[in-house]
Amino acid sequence: MVNSTAKSGNWQKKRILDSKGFQNIAFDEVNELLIRERAGRKLFLTSGEVLIDFISCSYLGLDLDKRVIEASSNNIYKCGVTFPAARTRAVVESFGVLETLLNKIFCDSFSTIFSSLHLAHLGFIPMLGSGELPSFPINSNGPVFIVDKNAHASIQINRALMMQFGTVEIINLVETHALEVLLKNCVANQQTPIMIADSIGSMGGSVPVTLLYSLVEKYDGYLYLDDAHGTSVFGRYGCGYVLECLDHFFPKRLILASSLSKAFGGVAGVIALPTHADSKMIKRYSQTYIFGGPPPLSIIDSAIASARIHLTEEIRQLQDKLWDNVKYFDEVFGSRAINYGVKSPIRGILIGDEFKTIKAAKILQREGFALTTAMYPTVEKGKGMLRVALSALHTKEDIDRFCAFSESSVIKYPKSYENTI
């Protein structure tokens, strides 16, 4: 008997059915840790366990900075937790202060704050597809959204939304020959190519930013990059990986999306654009900006404090500490690590089988380490991995202990590791 739901293309159902056998075990065995307290890179769980944190994307530790925490109460007693109205009607002045600081951080661009990066993508894509943004007109036969196959789920889930405005092509943007063939077809068909990718992959890898930008210039297109894992840890003022690659200049064909919820130390999404006119259009017509609800005021004020730290020499010092730890990890762990030698705060250990990946994570958790168990559908089936997020707050002792235990307990595959969970 044919499953009518599967036949109709229910991709969510298929993913659940294909992964719940091991994902359910992962949630029961190693996920959903209950944290009572944090101190640096130590997690104190409600169970009484103390784990070294290799999970969180707090690459610089700014979310734990006392100045950032204390700033959360700067205006809350004057203006409340939030002003519950669309920001097109009225907005607390702190939002403007933060956007001005972000404009400077992101190389004299124009920033718009969303409650999350997911809402930023969801609200911006229709604006881009409309062709009404001043800096991003669309050719007569519409856009072609060229989405990198490794782009984050928050982008991939919007492919049906993109199809309301144009066509969608999924490609590995690193394969530049196939990409250029596609770009030539766009020009021949009088369509506007829009390349969309993560600058730094959440599970490893990065895209060739300067090459991709040169291609959109050549073929009259646009480059939409999610720099969530590059913001703060790269570039002058923590402008990010993309803008460091582009020599700290914000070019006219670039759309920069980012998250303040990782190394930045806050909670919000940002779209940075080349002109003030673009930003004004977003604020007047983007559905998730208008109706998504503003981030809480305490979050905005904390982000202001973090942004001010970014605009000092201190951000470079934190970056240096992070990269020193990344280099040290590579020296101790060696070339078996995913992303070895790549300037990224993310490392990984490829395991393969999903059940073995869970067992490996459980062994390391028992030894005092918390890290991410990445499995299908986050990564390809049969390519389960342990993701290791490094930070400026890790000590050399943290890294030594992790590498030693992972070598003896995981890399060498002891007999117990092969057992069924």
Q: Do the Cβ atoms of 232 and 60 come closer than 8 Å? A: yes
Q: Do the Cβ atoms of 230 and 260 come closer than 8 Å? A: no
Maximum pairwise Cα distance, the chain: 66
Alpha helices by DSSP H, 157-286: 159-162, 176-188, 209-218, 241-245, 276-285
Which pLDDT score is estimated for 205? 84
Q: Do the Cβ atoms of 173 and 209 come closer than 8 Å? A: no
Q: Do the Cβ atoms of 415 and 363 come closer than 8 Å? A: no
Strands of 372-374's sheet, edge to edge? 346-352, 384-389, 372-374
Strands of 35-39's sheet, edge to edge? 35-39, 42-45, 50-53, 369-370
Tokens of 290: 């208008």
Strand bridging mode 222-226 / 35-39: unpaired
Alpha helices by DSSP H, 106-240: 117-130, 153-156, 159-162, 176-188, 209-218
Which pLDDT score is estimated for 6? 43
d(Cα 15, Cα 377) in Å, to the nearest integer? 7
Which stretches in the chain have pLDDT values below 50? 1-6, 414, 420
Which pLDDT score is estimated for 2? 37
Which pLDDT score is estimated for 8? 57
Tokens of 213: 């930008």
In the chain, the amino acid numbered 215 is: L
Any residues with CB less than 8 A from the CB of 28 and at least 6 apart, and which? none
How long is the chain? 421
Give this prediction's pTM: 0.92
Which pLDDT score is estimated for 148? 94
Which pLDDT score is estimated for 326? 97
- The Cβ of residue 134 has, within 10 Å, a number of other Cβ atoms equal to 14
d(Cα 241, Cα 209) in Å, to the nearest integer? 9
- Rounded to a whole number, what is the distance in angstroms from the first to the last CA of the chain? 33
- The angle formed by the CA atoms of residues 36, 40 and 42, to the nearest 5 degrees, is 50
Q: What is the pLDDT of residues 191-225, one digit of tens each?
A: 999 999 999 988 778 899 999 999 999 999 999 99
Question: In a 10 Å sphere around its CB, with 0-12 CB exposed, 13-18 middle and 19+ buried, how is residue 293 labelled?
Answer: middle
Which pLDDT score is estimated for 103? 98
Q: Do the Cβ atoms of 315 and 104 come closer than 8 Å? A: no
d(Cα 265, Cα 63) in Å, to the nearest integer? 4
Q: Count the alpha carbons within 13 Å of 249 in the hemisphere toward its beta carbon.
A: 7
